[in-house]
Amino acid sequence: MFKKLSKISITLLDQSLKIRHFFKLYLFKSPMNENHSLMYKFHFLKAKVLFKFRKYNIKSLYINEAKSFNKLGYITFSNKEITKNSSLILEKLKQKPNIWDDNNSFQGSPTEEFRSNFFNIFASGVDEFIKDTFKSDYFIYYHVLFKSNRFLKDKKPENSQLWHADGGPGICMNLMVCHTPINKNNGAMKIIPWNKSRDLLTKLYFKYKQVIRMKKNNNQFINLNRNSLREIKCKILENLIERNSLNYFQPNYSSPGTIFAFKNNCVHAGGYTDLGMERIVSVFHIYPSTRQTSLEEKFSSSHLKYRGFPEIGNLF
């Protein structure tokens, strides 16, 4: 009798925590602690208010892309100037075969190495799109550049190649500049719209707690490290997506220079290529800013990555 009551109470507790998790995702678009999310949200609202009262004329050339981003959680676009500068970066990268580390990440600061090209890319519509989307100014928190390829037939997807969400502040925009053409063969990123992602992450929270409790009861939890726990979450997401036959978006562009912007907590996966294929992309993490700065000022930094997301006290 006691065990039965205990199971019922645990189930009720899990259900209440599941509801709480849903509302965190609904209100803040993030699974983070509510107090932290509230502070990030307050920063975002402050940035919007300050921007509204400044004399800045948004051209609104990308207002439709901004609306789609805010509705779906992602958008892709490009133009001739973006394609041109992205192609120039790709050509320069091919001339520097030894600039990649063991994880296929660019060594050093890609912003410093290709500053003029990235400046031109942002000046050719990306800057306007971000401001149209946020309805505020912004700052670039970090910028990484990496390549994905596969030379072994039996190599399995791992890390960001698996279905996941970043788990950071809901006010963050991930913005990819795809230097190579992108398609399913070279691991173009797959993404699930935000409304579906929110439901998935709510179900993930509940099922993950059940799996971990079972492993603790069977004395299996002690053998799990951080990567093992991450893989459990990714596998749960994969099963949920397949079981519910959820549709996802995967871009297909034959030219370099696709801009792929998305909310960091949309469920996504990318970079698992076919044999011999390659994908090279830049990823910017971008946050609303209470300061109005020129594009020159935004690109005066090296944009090196020191941590996953900015501390609340260090938001600009």
Is residue 268 in some structural domain? yes
Q: Which residues pair with 164 in a beta bridge?
A: 268
Residue 234 lies in a domain: yes
d(CA 151, CA 13) in angstroms, rounded, equals 47
Cβ-contact 175, 298 below 8 angstroms: no
Please state the domain count of the chain: 1
Q: Please, what are the averages of pLDDT over each run of 10 residues along the chain (316 residues)?
A: 52 76 92 93 95 68 95 97 97 91 94 97 96 96 96 90 95 98 96 97 90 75 76 94 95 96 97 94 97 96 93 78
Type of residue numbered 295: L
State residue 2's pLDDT score: 43
How far apart are alpha carbons 165 and 268 in whole angstroms?
6
- Helices and strands, number each (H, E), in the chain: 10, 7
H or E segment at 145?
Answer: strand 137-149
CATH classification of the domain holding 132 = 2.60.120.620
pLDDT at 56: 57
CA angle (167 as vertex; 71, 197 as ends), nearest 5: 40
**Angle separating helix axes 194-217 and 2-28, nearest 10 degrees:** 150
Question: Is 312 within the bounds of a domain?
Answer: no
Q: The domain containing residue 254 runs over which residues? A: 2-306
DSSP string, 65-79: HHHHHHHHSEEEE--
Q: CA–CA separation, 286 vs 309, rounded Å?
A: 10
**Residue 313, in any domain of the structure:** no
The answer to the question of residue 247 being in a domain is yes
What the block records as the tokens of 268 is: 């996504």
Q: What is the pLDDT of residue 55?
A: 56
pLDDT digits (tens, 9 = 90+) for 74-110: 999 999 999 999 999 999 999 988 899 999 999 999 9
Whether 314 is in a domain gets the answer no
Three-class SS state of 96: coil
pLDDT at 219: 67
Strand 258-263 to 173-178 pairing = antiparallel
Residue 9 lies in a domain: yes
Three-state SS for 182-209 is ECHHHCCCEECCHHHHHHHHHHHHHHHH
190 inside domain: yes
Q: Which pair of tokens denotes residue 153?
A: 């037939």
Cβ(282)–Cβ(180) below 8 Å = no
Q: What are the CB-based long-range contacts (under 8 Å, 24+) for 46-54? A: 46/290, 47/134, 47/136, 47/137, 47/288, 47/289, 47/290, 48/134, 48/135, 48/136, 48/288, 50/136, 50/290, 50/292, 51/131, 51/134, 51/135, 51/136, 51/137, 51/292, 52/135, 54/292
User: Rounded to two decimals, what is the model's pTM?
Assistant: 0.92
Q: Is 59 helix (H, G, I), strand (E, B) or coil?
A: coil
DSSP string, 11-40: HHHHHHHHHHHHHHHHHHSS-S-HHHHHHH
